């Protein structure tokens, strides 16, 4: 069984259990105020395996299903047997790093908390965009646009919404997760930048 499928199953089981166990959710969620005062930095990782509600979980797991296989196969092809370990490490590192901006911004805000794998999912998506910029992605699952354009619009939207503070969505985690996935992708294969530019230049 592919590791990304195991991640979907594991995350779904943990999230479902937390739906019915508020105490469990409160201990696993990203809560900068508590992390700063009680050194509960494990939350940076565990928050990626719990979700706010079923819709939140389904959307993230659907995107993980669509792009997880591509990224995992890339790691398998590039690294061979250790590929699955590196894929899991890649996924978990993005979860952790995606939580740092909101930690720095909200460590003195006792009312802020967040949950979800969205940061890691954004990282997987941008890893895909780096390698397949001309693929079509469906904006709001309806409008097909080139992956590279989707990537630009997503970063602009996440940055704008982060400044607005108009909802309870952790847009900073989305932005940081996307950037982390992109940067790690380039670090793993620096030639991907040239390949990306070459593919984009062919359409102009």
- Over the stretch 78-125, which tens digit does the pLDDT of each residue have? 999 999 999 999 999 999 999 999 999 999 999 999 999 999 999 999
CA distance 128 to 147: 9
What is the pLDDT, as a whole number, of residue 164? 80
Q: Which two tokens stand for residue 33?
A: 């105020």
Separation of CA 198 from chain center: 26
Separation of CA 168 from chain center: 17
pLDDT, one tens digit per residue, over 128-170 is: 999 999 999 976 667 889 999 999 999 999 999 888 876 778 8
What is the pLDDT, as a whole number, of residue 140? 62
Range from 30-39, 155-164, 176-185 carrying the lowest mean pLDDT: 155-164
Query: Is the torsion defined by CA of 10, 11, 15, 18 positive or negative?
Result: positive
What is the pLDDT, as a whole number, of residue 163? 84
Mean pLDDT for 165-177 is 87
Does residue 194 surpass a pLDDT of 90? Answer: yes
Residue owning tokens 């802020």:
112
Q: Which two tokens stand for residue 62?
A: 């659907």
What domains can be seen in the chain, in order of their start residue? Answer: 3-201 (1.20.1540.10)
CA distance 63 to 70: 11
How crowded is the C-beta side of 152, counted as CA atoms within 13 Å?
5
What is the pLDDT, as a whole number, of residue 141? 61
3-state secondary structure of 67: helix
What is the pLDDT, as a whole number, of residue 16? 97
pLDDT, one tens digit per residue, over 20-33 is: 999 999 999 999 99
Q: Which two tokens stand for residue 28?
A: 């696993």
What is the pLDDT, as a whole number, of residue 169? 84
């Amino acid at each position: 069984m592919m590791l990304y499928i195991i991640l979907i199953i594991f995350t779904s089981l943990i999230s479902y259990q937390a739906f019915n166990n508020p105490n469990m959710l409160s201990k696993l969620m990203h809560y900068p105020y508590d992390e700063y005062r009680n050194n509960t930095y494990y939350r940076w990782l565990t928050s990626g395996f719990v979700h706010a509600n079923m819709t939140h979980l389904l959307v993230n797991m659907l995107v993980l299903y669509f792009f997880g296989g591509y990224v995992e196969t890339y790691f398998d092809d590039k690294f061979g047997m250790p590929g699955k370990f590196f894929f899991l490490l890649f996924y978990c590192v993005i979860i952790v790093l995606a939580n740092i901006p909101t930690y720095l911004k909200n460590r003195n805000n006792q009312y802020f908390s967040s949950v979800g794998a969205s940061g890691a999912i954004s990282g997987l998506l941008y890893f895909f965009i780096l390698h397949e910029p001309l693929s079509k992605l469906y904006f709001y699952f309806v409008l097909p646009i080139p992956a590279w354009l989707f990537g630009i619009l997503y970063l602009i939207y996440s940055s704008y919404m982060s400044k607005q503070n108009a909802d309870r969505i952790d847009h900073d985690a989305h932005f940081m997760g996307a950037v982390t996935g992109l940067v790690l992708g380039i670090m793993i294969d620096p030639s991907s930048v040239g390949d990306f530019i070459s593919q984009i230049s062919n359409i102009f």
